[in-house]
Structure 1
Amino acid sequence: MSEKILNALEEQINFEFESAYLYLGMSLKMDEANFTGFSHWLFQQYQEELDHAHQMIDYVQRRGHTIALKDIPAVAIETADPVKISRDVLEHEIKVSRAIDNILALARDAKDFATEKFMMEFVEEQVEEEESARNLVDSFSCASENLSAQMMIDNMLSAREEE
């Protein structure tokens, strides 16, 4: 594995931890606003991002390298508006997709087929993540100011199972 790819993977590992921290903050904010289903959904996202970071750490270590962790900045979640939070989730998932695509491109350019194969799992997962986030945005946007509709969506989100 080249130094360039190793550095990109380290950055991605840190970004996965940042993502987890972001989703945990969102989860706590939605819980405070009594959107416990959305809070649960966001907490599942938090756990998923931690899992991604651990998978990447394991991969880098199996390739014979060590990881240099970086600081994770504090995240201030300003609102408990489910429309705004769902839009932020979508925006963030698009950023994650771009970062993963960049690592895949580096791996292809370097003919690092092991890293290319490893990253394809994340590419495929990001398609699902963006779709899920778009569905959230659509659902909460349609519900808009209708609290009953928002609570119905919130209730449906509480059914999300651990992955």
Structure 2
Amino acid sequence: TPERQAVRLPDGASLELGASLGVPALTAHRCLFADGDIGGRNILVAGGAGAVGHFAIELAKYAGARVVATVSGPMKEEIARAAGADLVVNYRDSAAVDRIRTFAPRVDRVVEVNLAANFSLDLALSGAGTVIAAYAADGPDPELPVRACMTANVVLRFVLLYGVPAEALAQGVAEVTAAL
């Protein structure tokens, strides 16, 4: 293993935690921070109970953001809440958009696990400059409502960790390690 890929854990960090970080934590970091600081910003994490979603919640809270997470059921709601989400909403709830807007009229970043399934919700909560960072695709490629994206002036970012520039990856490793 190249030395740059073997990261020393800080004192007190368990080997179990170290083993779980890797791709999920660095993917979450890239989705959150590729477009700048998120302190004081409103972050939407889709799939807040998943591995990337869990780390996205924790990293966003560590950076001083307000975090809303979407989940699909009560057990997953508990997981996202335990990660630190300020608000957890079942995305299947017909009042999901209204509940989120009450918390945050507009989100600044979206960490998106399933763009095809969630894009309409993401767009409804977005505004000028919102970054929607999609890191996974489940099923068919989404149809992008180009005019709606232009009108909202959103930024779409697609994240695949294996193509991230080395400098950005090193920064992610350093910042994730510091957050431990």
TM bucket normalised to smaller: under 0.3
Q: Which has the higher strand share?
A: 2
Higher relative contact order by CA 8 Å / sep ≥ 6: 1 or 2? 1
Per the normalisation by structure 1, the TM-score is 0.28
Per the normalisation by structure 2, the TM-score is 0.26
